[in-house]
Chains A and B, each alone.
Chain A
Amino acid sequence: MAGEGAGPAARLFRYDRRIAANSARATFSGWHDRLIAATMLLFALAAARSWLLDRAWPITALTAFAGSVVIGSTAGRLIAVRLAFHAFDGPLAADALRPVLRRRYLIAWCAIGLTLLAILTVIARPSLLIASLPGYLIGAFVGHVTGKFSIAGFGTGKAGFGRMLRSWIQRPGAGIVAAVILLLSLAFTAQYLRGDALVVVAGIETALSGLALTIVDDSSVRFQTIAGQGPWRIIGRQARGAMLFVGIAAPVCALVFGPALAAVVAATSIATLLLMAMRTLAYRIHGKGFADFIVSILTGLLILTAFSMPIVLPFVGIAILWQLQRRSAARTWLLA
């Protein structure tokens, strides 16, 4: 058999590295794509550096640690999911099932993530390396372990309940139920909390409801794309629950709790809808892993913009959506 002597340990890694490299080349194929990406990267780095240098070291260290844990856990989970795919559906399943090769694959991708994070930290504020690197490693470990648990049923169909739940919460009625739950919860919480504290609670509850209502199933997006559905039609169908949620929750909040709280509910809901739109468009262009990677980078960019220059945020959001939609529109009917 081929491959045994030709470094099978590296085959899994080479396979995914080639996919990532080709996807990146396709994503930034035009000079304007590269220009936009470079501008966004420079802008994001400058904003991060400015924010981190302006604050006391303990605060920035804590922020860097928390952010690195999130990045590490996302990376660890993505790697676990990818290994599960390789073992079940991939052409290199024999490699993906061997513990030694799995470990090498895991270490290789974690090392790449760690190196990139170290470079970014050195650019932003070198003294934060002491917080970001351990944070990443802890996050990667946690993400890998939890990822392995959550994909324990990969290929054996044990995700049936999750699929059923996802299907239910994408119905418009789920948006009405979520809005009613939010309003009842806020009415109850208002008896104990007032002012900013209530607004924070409203923001957190809205974010949780919004994220639950805008879950995107990549295989469903892919199927609809093959079947000839345009990007905005798919987004519109998936947004029904969240639109009903914000359509009910925001006006009632304005009447009962005041305009500030209603604005937070509306803004948070719009943010979750924007995230859903970005994921849907990205799933039409790329495989799930790379699409999630791209969307997490774009989300980070939007968060940085919101913190450093909020007035520019709508323009950056529109630019991102336009760029993704331009490429995803061309995918309709492909693969048929």
Chain B
Amino acid sequence: MNPIIDLIAVSIERTGERVVRHVDLTVIEGSWFGLIGANGSGKTSLLRALAGRLPFASGSCRIDGVEMIADRPARATHFGFSPPADTLPDALRGREVLELVGGDIETIWPRLGPLRGALGLDALLDRWIGDCSAGMRQRITIALAFAQGHARVILDEPFNWLDPVAAFDLRQALRAMVDNGLTLMTALHDLGTLAVACDAGIMLAGGNVAMELDSRLLETAAQDPQAFERQTIDRLRAASVP
């Protein structure tokens, strides 16, 4: 039970407004941490800031016990992160973008482990990204987060645009990798995945932590997903009422 990410009272500003306010969270090594919340609740901003893509406005961000609140490059180096699928360059093939980020493809395969099959990457290697569907692009961006061999990875809504089979296979593959030591943080809209696959999480509403989801609560949720869904939706509705 080794906490590797420790955020204390972090805030993030966008458009001159605080979109994340005084959020505390702790992520344990070798676990899957899920963030849920309504659109615009601050999930993406929080994950981007943690991965160095945005600055924190205030608070404390300790990674492996080292304070990194003001050190964006260090945060970016610590995490694998999937870029937004629509920002991938049309003029590269799947193989090219993976190799430019992670080195030779034969070096990348072991880092991806079960994701190679789950994401169907072999079929995407020689395809131009400009000719890929949104789901195909999403598969490549997920692979990019793992291509450099990070043991801590942040994925923002990784199941978007995936067909049901691919989403199922990806969930299984990610869970297997977490069981083998990967530390994973994901933003999610799928309460089923949160209940079944995640070890802990938080619900964000209006930039604040509306609910903490510890392992015991999620174990209960996995036993009765319908009751968990009802409870969570009620919380989200209540949080969205001004």
Chain B, interface size category, equals 35 or more
Of all chain B residues, the one with the shortest Cβ separation from A222 is B86
Flag whether B188 is at the interface (Cβ < 8 A): no
List which A194-236 residues lie within 8 A (CB) of chain B.
Answer: none
B22 partner residues in chain A, CB cutoff 8 A: none
A335 touches B54 (CB 8 A): no
Closest CB in chain A relative to B30 CB, distance in Å: 18
Q: At the interface, yes or no: B97 with Cβ under 8 Å from chain A?
A: yes
CA distance A94 to B81 in the complex (A): 10
Shortest distance between the CB of B117 and any CB in chain A (Å): 21
Task: Name the residue on A nearest B137 (C-beta).
Answer: A335
Which of A87, A92, A158, A335 meets B101, CB within 8 Å? A92
- Range for the number of chain A residues in contact with chain B: 20 to 34
Interface residues of B in 109-158 (CB under 8 A from A): 111, 130-134, 141, 144, 147-150
- Docked-complex contact B134 and A335, CB < 8 angstroms: yes
> Are A14 and B76 CB-contacts (below 8 A) given A2-B107, A287-B90, A336-B134?
no
Within 8 A of A (CB), among B80-100: 81, 83-84, 86-87, 89-92, 96-97, 100
Q: Name the contact of B91 in the complex, choosing from A11, A19, A85, A157 (C-beta under 8 A).
A: A19
Expressed in whole angstroms, the minimum distance between the Cβ of B72 and any Cβ of chain A is 5
**B103 and A94 form a contact (CB under 8 A):** no
Q: Can you list, as one digit per residue, whether each of B213-224 has a CB less than 8 Å from chain A (1) or not (0)?
A: 000000000000
Q: A2 contacts B53, CB within 8 Å?
A: no
With A156-B15, A334-B131 in contact, do A6 and B100 touch (Cβ < 8 Å)? Answer: no
- In the complex, whether B73 has a CB less than 8 A from a CB of chain A is yes
Q: Are A287 and B103 in contact (CB under 8 A)?
A: no
Q: Are B53's CB and A287's CB within 8 A?
A: no
Decide if B148 touches A1 in the complex (CB within 8 Å). yes
B102 & A2 in contact (Cβ 8 Å cutoff): yes
Interface residues of A in 83-136 (CB under 8 A from B): 85, 87-94, 97-98
Q: Which of A's residues lie within 8 Å of B, judged by CB?
A: 1-3, 6, 11, 14-15, 18-19, 22-23, 26, 85, 87-94, 97-98, 155-158, 160, 286-287, 290, 334-336
18 residue pairs from A and B, CB less than 8 Å apart: A1-B148, A2-B103, A3-B101, A11-B100, A11-B101, A15-B100, A18-B92, A22-B91, A22-B96, A87-B53, A88-B53, A89-B83, A91-B97, A93-B81, A94-B77, A97-B72, A287-B89, A335-B86
